[in-house]
Structure 1
Amino acid sequence: MQVLGPWSDSVVIDELAGGKARGLYGVQSSGVRVPEWVVLGRDVYDGFLGEGGLSTAVAEFAEIADVEQAVVRAGELRAELVAAPVPEVVRELIATAGARLGDGPIAVRSSMLAEDGAGNSYAGQFDTYLNVRGVPAIVERVRDCWASAFSERAVRYAFARKLPRAAAPAVLLQRLVAARASGVVFTANPATGARDEAVISAVYGLGEGLVSGAVDADSVIVDKVSGAMLEVVLGDKDSRYDPAGEQGWEVREVEAEARGQAVLTDAELAELTEIGRKLESHCGAPQDIEWAIDDIGIWVLQSRPITTLGAAAPLGRTVELRGAGEEIPAGELRIWDNSNIIESFSGVTSPLTYTTAADIYGRVYRGYAASLGVPDEQQRQTDAWTSVLLGSFHSRVYYNLLHWYRMVGIAPGYPLNRKVLEAALGVDEPLADDIAKTLRPFVFRSRTARLRSRAITTAIYVRRLRGIDAMVEQFVTEFYRVYDEYDALDYTELTGEQAYAAYRTVDRDLVERWGPLMVLDAILLTLTGAVFLLTKLFLPKAPEWFLYAVVGPGADVESADPARAMTELAQLVRADPELTTLINSSAPEQIYAELQNSDRTEFLSRVNDYINLYGYRSLDELKLETPDLREDPASLFVMLRSASGRVGDAATASRSAEADAYLDANLRGPRRRIYERLRAKASRCAAHRERLRFCRTRAFGMVKRMIRVMGRDLVARGVLDEFADVFYLTNSEMRGCYEGEDTTTLRALVAARKVLRAKDSALVAPARFRTLGPALGRAELAEQGWVPLTTTAAATVGTVLTGTPSAAGIVEGPAVVVDEPRDVAGGILVAYRTDPGWVAALPSATALVIERGSPLTHVAIVARELGVPTVVQVKDAATRLRTGMRIRVDGINGTVTVLSEGDQPDETL
């Protein structure tokens, strides 16, 4: 037996000194300041057991298989250890160890062999004693540390993790720092998993009050690269811990002048951040570091791996999904724009939805390139950007915009198509020509190879343009063959494995078929651009609203059917006073059950018909976490309540009729025939696109049902705690649950992402921002507008907000600002964004004002067909307008004007 310390050989330290001492040994070797320490190795403990005749009893205890029996026996052993005399040879060794630390107070701490390991920390399981003075006291506290290996909490911890029990604890003796302040540094954010952030907690005095929870600490999140403080929370400083008393600390009042101040100075925060970076690099993993500050400076008391973070790292899992997952070269520009992507994935979006969508986008556009005859070498080049067409920041989904310009470049007509793309996406700022011209989807070895490939692609593109009608019909037929087969399954009877097998089959089948159909989007861009150019040539004085009204899918477009069906349901409600009362006064989530228990079988049958036909339609219908109407019909009654207030009041004439009237008055002869032929082709393609969007919505609805089976199965298997947790997994993590991957870390991963989601929801999401290079940390994002939500001043009377006219007409009325289509009866619906699920609410709105989106989005198209005046891309509309404000919506000129309460409607409207 011998006293070990910094002078000992590293092999001996690893074998005998235990986890805490092993960590300190590594810290000191890195050059970081550590208080003087020594350690009594596990051989000293073995000697104590042998002299006391306890070795056999401890060995037998380690073999007990039942946890309750082990807890009882551990209590008996602990009492025996505390009562056993410490042999003289061991006392002398302890005295020698204490003498190395001088006459001042010391800390006596356990140092189990497995403690502070990469997989298990044993945090708080064994005893620590502070302010210990004199050999007799040190001897007693060393024995107490040995006995703490048999505490109930330690035994249960070991059983829960299938770890060895009473595995020869060493004991660490360390000079006690007379701390002015102390705390912990996590070199990665333990709540979110962010590796580029350090979290520093600090209290006055010693840190035992921090770890026990008795003192409210300051908490600072620091960007490890820039050193910027990302978040500062000052704790309650009514009291602090100072070394005194039997346990080494006592509560004392904090001086009044210090109560509102931060514990640490900026310089101390910077130094702690640097120490954290240094130790993380030295140890090769994120660290949990205990520290203290006295008159000399900062001392590191302990450093150990962050176990909850390290468990996920080997599987390549990250808590926060930031960026698009691509390696962006230093200094290279990326533009992130939410445009009309928020029509599909609005607000905070789950990891499962984002990663599923990103995966589908990548595979679909890879298939699109192949379908246009792009050579294999160039197809492989597209893999670098088709897989990252979407990005995620603070749980919001964005277009990785430059890659979308690359995608448009696959088909011929890039100069025209990219301009129409900007209108289709609804981007506020067109891309500069000098950047746009550099965004090639791929490169060739020679000019000859490029020309040959372009000729082949153009020939295929022209052939697809001519035959697009038949191509769409064939796809729709095949789609519904697959859809009908899997929609008819009884999902209540499927096992998780069966649901996953169905999911993989449907995913593979539909994505493979969908790729070639992306040519429709390119064709629609080309045709719409051609119509716009021809309009400027033949009708140079045409108003802006005409440009969007002249090309539409037609009044009988399938995507308007839910709105028409909702209107019919609303008519039934309005004609029945008792039914009106039920719909308007009952909680939406209770109405369906009340109808089932009533004698209104005919109306219930109509509601069921609606759900059977359009049950996949819901608010945020492409977000996998949002239940559809079949799972939760409550939102149907929210929309019905709004629609029933205005049945028959909204104009129903299609705006295409107004476009026809304008053409009749201004364009005739051969030019009219040329124009109509091009217009008809563009309108058919717009109708095809709406049909495919309907198919997409149905497909997502079908996938939702499969994922819900898997979610419940994962709960039953004990992989997840509750059904909704499945949406906090990525697509690859969900698949891994059925492909034999390790699932033991998923609970911790889900818990961290839930914390992250709560923080993300409190941030403003800018509509568009830019990044340079790989730096996508919180500090860089904050500079781009990702800041906590702030109150925006309301617009005053006379304020004119401008946007893009989307559906003609002028309406005055009260604004109803909503985040979902509810309570808008008789008002002007104002929203930050909409999604296809909002179309059923359109009959209830006199007009529509959308902050984000474009005239070519789903809801804007249907609004035109239903005759609802609409203005889109109205900056700050959802924050500056307030519910109840009287406003005028001019869908001709694209303006929204705030009126005074006394303004009378313009009789000419």
Structure 2
Amino acid sequence: MIIKHTCRDTPYVTETGGKAYNLLLLRQAGYSVPDFIVLPVSFFDEVSDVKHNAEQALIEILEALPNTSQFAVRSSAVAEDSSNFSYAGQFKTLLCVEAKNIPAAIAEVYASVNAQHIAAYQSHSGKADLKMAVIVQAMIPATQAGVAFGIDPLSGNEKDFLINAIEGIGEDLVNGSKNADAYTVQAGSIAQQQIAGDTSVLSIQQIKVVSSTLTTLNEFYKHHQDIEFAFVDDKFYLLQSRPVTTTAQPNEAAITWDNSNIIESYPGLTLPLTFSFIEKMYAAVYRQMSSVMGITVGKIKANDAAFDNMLGLLNGRVYYNLNSWYKVLSLLPGYKMNASFMEKMMGVKDKPDINIETGEAGIRDYFDIAYAVTCIIRNVATARKQKDLFISDFNSIYNQFVNKDFARSTLKETLAYYHRFEQLMVTKWKAPLVNDFFAMVYFGSLQKMCVKHMPDEPNTTNHLIASSKDIITTEPIRRLPLLAKLLTQKPELDEALRSGSSEEFLQVLARYKEEQAAFNEYIKDWGERSIAELKLETITYLQQPELLVDILRSYATSGAQPFEANTSIDAERHKAEVQMLQQLKGHAVKKGLFNHVLKQARYFVSNRENLRYYRTKGFGMVRRMMLGIGEQLYKQGYLQHPRDVFYLHLKELDEVAEEQFTSADIQNKVAQRKQDYQLYQSLPLPERVITKGKVDKIVLPQTTSTFTNIKELQGIPCSAGVVHAKVRLLYDATDMNNLNGDIMATYATDPGWVVLFPGAGGIITERGSLLSHAAIVSREMGIPCIVGLTGLMDILKDGDEILMDGATGIVQIIQQSEQ
């Protein structure tokens, strides 16, 4: 009935499951594995009531594990802990189970094989036998526990053993509820260590024991191992060992992925259609920018790989490929200076270890550099004219498509419209790219000047850039309060807006021509400016006007007033400028250079935000086209729902039009990707990930840390002001319609979040830089703002009372919420 740990003839893995099979091998090889029994796969065959069956076996289980008061009940699927995929953390494990509760625990663990996320993992990893055995193991009173890898799974370095350890049982490490000590061991010696507490969890001798065990296990299995271990004082126990399944290939170059700033535009999960679109756009427009900046066709062609791989999609999340970004930037003159500016603009917190080989410069290279410098100077001189021409061209192209009903066109017609629109946009996108480059350069230069001449006034740069009065992003918060006021002038509309549902309000609104015209005019102008507007799958106000009604309701309820320029910001701006000029008194050349840099920085930073409006409209047009294609594919039987189109790639749409796929092929692709994304939802990644080669499979998340006893956070100060208030954690802008003066805290914001800014007493974000949307708009509005607060959303709790200082970037926790 049961298999005991003392078994000398190892059963087949198809009976024991992968984890139990490994434990039996380890026990036979002499490793110190806590006593256990296995309920084999056959135990569960044709059993309708697993708990009842386990109750019948309880006496035999307890006899096999005497002198034990608590037990661990673990899964052991046939495919689990195999060399192809580990299913690590996917099935249920129950610890500290009392003897009387063992049958219920067995039933619960066995049932976990049918969880939805398991189906997603299985689909992503490949077909696998998911028949389940269950392990019941004696719990040991661990004084220390941890996990360890016999190779660095992210870098592929075989010389590095990674060890994480905490005090107590290992479950607290796996689920992230305790901070872990982290050790990197090379040849038995500690190469690096990060201690979470006051003293090291493991002694040097214990670290050597773990390292030695990894060495012997690697040799024993002929494969690098991932182990869980525990110590009872100095007695070592091996709890499990499985192959490392996500090891990078050592012969491939390391790639540094970072999403510090791009999360602002692509928060959370991004679906395949959006990624295939933006990956193509980034490659095309940055090739164009390089050409505009004077980089020769030959050099651009020679760096195709860098341009084609500027982005990555890891676990459904968009990342910058920093290797490619640095490589593309190195093609321009002044690489080292520009690299530091780029890091600040992109919010890169830690400079990556990326070595760009520029080679020895020959005579031809000097001519190329001279030509590039000439092009850069010419672009600076013509930037304003380029912007005006771009806006004119954009509107001309946009208006060719704006009135088309893509749902009524054929698939091939809509795809033709898309490719034409795409080509026109790519070839006309020069001005925004040039503007972004010079915003980076001039803002970085201004910041260096301020630090050099006014080192004791760290907020000088922010004051100098603020109050430009020409940022188009603030237009919604001028118009929406006026629209809300208009809609509340008529009693019936006022009642419907304040008390009715959004759908009911729109029905009432249809009876008021003037008010409906004003509502529709806003939708026409700003209907695509919504949260996560650059994700094609996002439902905007244009597609669902009810979302705008929710915003208007909050404005009407709070009595929000139209945004107006803050005179105190003007005063700070003028004061900062006078102070800088005073520092440069008597230095005519430096003064002239400062005035030039300041003027250009103000212009390019403002227009960085303004030109995003046209990007919003361009993406909105593509969204409309893709929704039209989704409707067509749904009618033709290719999709079960029109919005399933967002699970396909652009290339696949063209292939469908050419009849290269059947409807079954497409529906299977969509179903598989939906399962993948269910899995990705539970597999977050840190903002910095290093892999060997480009990732096309699941990248398992690194062990996450939980922050404890932290009372103060330091971020990047963006807009001065001290605010003492409660904090509201927003995971999505739809979480809260009215902040009522509370401090808004979130991961990052995009331009669509601006409708919430008027109600915020202050703004703090986990990600971002001085050129992030939150930074630029909060400076314009005079709202205190801090970005780049590492761990913000883990450390703070909704309702915490905090004190933020937008001038220093410091957030203090005054009183923690009882939540």
Would the TM-score normalized by the shorter structure come out above 0.5?
A: yes
The residue aligned with 1:280 is none
Q: Distance in 2 between matches of 1:754 and 1:513?
A: 35
- 1:686 paired with 2:523, answer no
Matches within 5 A, 1:593-608: 593-596=507-510, 599-608=511-520
Structure 1 residue 697 displacement after superposition:
0.6
The residue aligned with 2:447 is 532
Q: Letter of the aligned partner of 2:476 in structure 1?
A: P
Q: Distance in 2 between matches of 1:499 and 1:341?
A: 29
- 1:869 paired with 2:784, answer yes
Structure 1 residue 769 displacement after superposition:
2.2
Q: Letter of the aligned partner of 1:734 in structure 2?
A: L
The residue aligned with 2:413 is 498
The residue aligned with 1:439 is 356
Maintained 8 Å contact 1:535/1:547:
yes
- 1:389 paired with 2:302, answer no
Cα pair distance change 1:865/1:328, threshold 3 Å: farther
Structure 1 residue 480 displacement after superposition:
1.0
Q: Deviations over 1:354-382 (max 9, x none)?
A: 12111111111122223333233321222
User: Which of 766, 790, 806 is the aligned partner of 2:686?
Assistant: 766
Q: Distance in 1 between matches of 2:104 and 2:481?
A: 66
Structure ID, larger Rg: 1
Cα pair distance change 1:235/1:521, threshold 3 Å: closer
Q: Letter of the aligned partner of 2:405 in structure 1?
A: D
The residue aligned with 2:15 is 181
Q: Distance in 2 between matches of 1:620 and 1:531?
A: 31
Maintained 8 Å contact 1:221/1:232:
no
- 1:781 paired with 2:686, answer no
Q: Letter of the aligned partner of 2:524 in structure 1?
A: N
Q: Distance in 1 between matches of 2:636 and 2:395?
A: 33
Structure 1 residue 229 displacement after superposition:
4.5
Q: Deviations over 1:372-400 (max 9, x none)?
A: 33233321222111111111111111111
Q: Distance in 2 between matches of 1:566 and 1:795?
A: 42
Q: Distance in 1 between matches of 2:107 and 2:779?
A: 58
Structure 1 residue 696 displacement after superposition:
0.7
Give the structure, 1 or 2, with the largest relative contact order (CA under 8 Å, sep 6 or more): 2
Cα pair distance change 1:520/1:547, threshold 3 Å: same
Cα pair distance change 1:497/1:213, threshold 3 Å: farther
Q: Distance in 1 between matches of 2:449 and 2:102?
A: 78
Maintained 8 Å contact 2:407/2:629:
no
The residue aligned with 1:16 is none
The residue aligned with 2:666 is 746
Maintained 8 Å contact 2:768/2:787:
yes
Q: Distance in 1 between matches of 2:15 and 2:757?
A: 61
- 1:205 paired with 2:42, answer yes
User: Which of 466, 469, 473 is the aligned partner of 1:555?
Assistant: 469
- 1:881 paired with 2:796, answer yes
User: Which of 406, 411, 418 is the aligned partner of 2:327?
Assistant: 406
Q: Distance in 2 between matches of 1:649 and 1:563?
A: 6
User: Which of 741, 756, 773 is the aligned partner of 2:676?
Assistant: 756
Cα pair distance change 1:255/1:657, threshold 3 Å: closer
Cα pair distance change 1:548/1:718, threshold 3 Å: same
Cα pair distance change 1:482/1:255, threshold 3 Å: closer
Structure 1 residue 806 displacement after superposition:
0.8
User: Which of 566, 574, 578 is the aligned partner of 1:653?
Assistant: 566
Maintained 8 Å contact 1:887/1:899:
yes
Q: Residue 457 of structure 1: SS of its match in structure 2?
A: helix
Q: Letter of the aligned partner of 1:802 in structure 2?
A: Q
Structure 1 residue 457 displacement after superposition:
1.3
- 1:703 paired with 2:622, answer yes
The residue aligned with 2:645 is 726
Structure 1 residue 182 displacement after superposition:
7.9
Q: Letter of the aligned partner of 1:233 in structure 2?
A: F
Matches within 5 A, 1:514-663: 514-515=429-430, 517-543=432-458, 545-551=459-465, 554-572=468-486, 582-588=496-502, 590-596=504-510, 599-644=511-556, 645=558, 647-648=560-561, 652-653=565-566, 655=569, 657-663=571-577
Q: Letter of the aligned partner of 1:398 in structure 2?
A: Y
Q: Letter of the aligned partner of 2:546 in structure 1?
A: A
Q: Distance in 2 between matches of 1:687 and 1:815?
A: 29
Q: Distance in 2 between matches of 1:795 and 1:601?
A: 58
The residue aligned with 2:221 is none
Q: Residue 781 of structure 1: SS of its match in structure 2?
A: coil
Maintained 8 Å contact 2:742/2:760:
yes
User: Which of 831, 835, 839 is the aligned partner of 2:754?
Assistant: 839
- 1:358 paired with 2:276, answer no
Maintained 8 Å contact 2:266/2:535:
yes
Q: Letter of the aligned partner of 2:470 in structure 1?
A: D
Cα pair distance change 1:204/1:221, threshold 3 Å: closer
Q: Distance in 2 between matches of 1:793 and 1:391?
A: 29
Q: Distance in 2 between matches of 1:795 and 1:652?
A: 40
Q: Letter of the aligned partner of 1:181 in structure 2?
A: E
The residue aligned with 2:596 is 677
Maintained 8 Å contact 1:366/1:382:
no
Structure 1 residue 665 displacement after superposition:
4.3
Q: Letter of the aligned partner of 2:91 in structure 1?
A: V
Q: Letter of the aligned partner of 1:653 in structure 2?
A: N
Maintained 8 Å contact 1:711/1:724:
yes
Using the TM superposition, name which of 377-386 and 347-356 deviates more: 377-386
Cα pair distance change 1:393/1:672, threshold 3 Å: same
Cα pair distance change 1:564/1:738, threshold 3 Å: same
The residue aligned with 2:578 is 664
RMSD of Structure 2 on Structure 1 (CA): 3.9
Q: Residue 700 of structure 2: SS of its match in structure 1?
A: helix
Cα pair distance change 1:766/1:718, threshold 3 Å: same
How many residue pairs match? The answer is 624
If the length of structure 1 is used for normalisation, what is the TM-score? 0.62
Matches within 5 A, 1:336-375: 336-375=257-296
Structure 1 residue 880 displacement after superposition:
2.4
Q: Distance in 2 between matches of 1:426 and 1:180?
A: 50
The residue aligned with 1:196 is none
Cα pair distance change 1:862/1:574, threshold 3 Å: farther
Cα pair distance change 1:291/1:415, threshold 3 Å: closer
The residue aligned with 1:88 is none
Q: Distance in 2 between matches of 1:383 and 1:550?
A: 39
Structure 1 residue 220 displacement after superposition:
6.6
Q: Letter of the aligned partner of 2:537 in structure 1?
A: E
Q: Distance in 2 between matches of 1:692 and 1:658?
A: 26
The residue aligned with 2:298 is 377
The residue aligned with 1:32 is none
Q: Residue 518 of structure 1: SS of its match in structure 2?
A: helix
Cα pair distance change 1:448/1:224, threshold 3 Å: farther
Matches within 5 A, 1:71-110: none
Maintained 8 Å contact 1:826/1:844:
yes
User: Which of 714, 717, 720 is the aligned partner of 2:633?
Assistant: 714
Maintained 8 Å contact 1:343/1:835:
yes
Q: Distance in 2 between matches of 1:219 and 1:660?
A: 69
Q: Distance in 2 between matches of 1:547 and 1:577?
A: 48
Q: Deviations over 1:79-108 (max 9, x none)?
A: xxxxxxxxxxxxxxxxxxxxxxxxxxxxxx
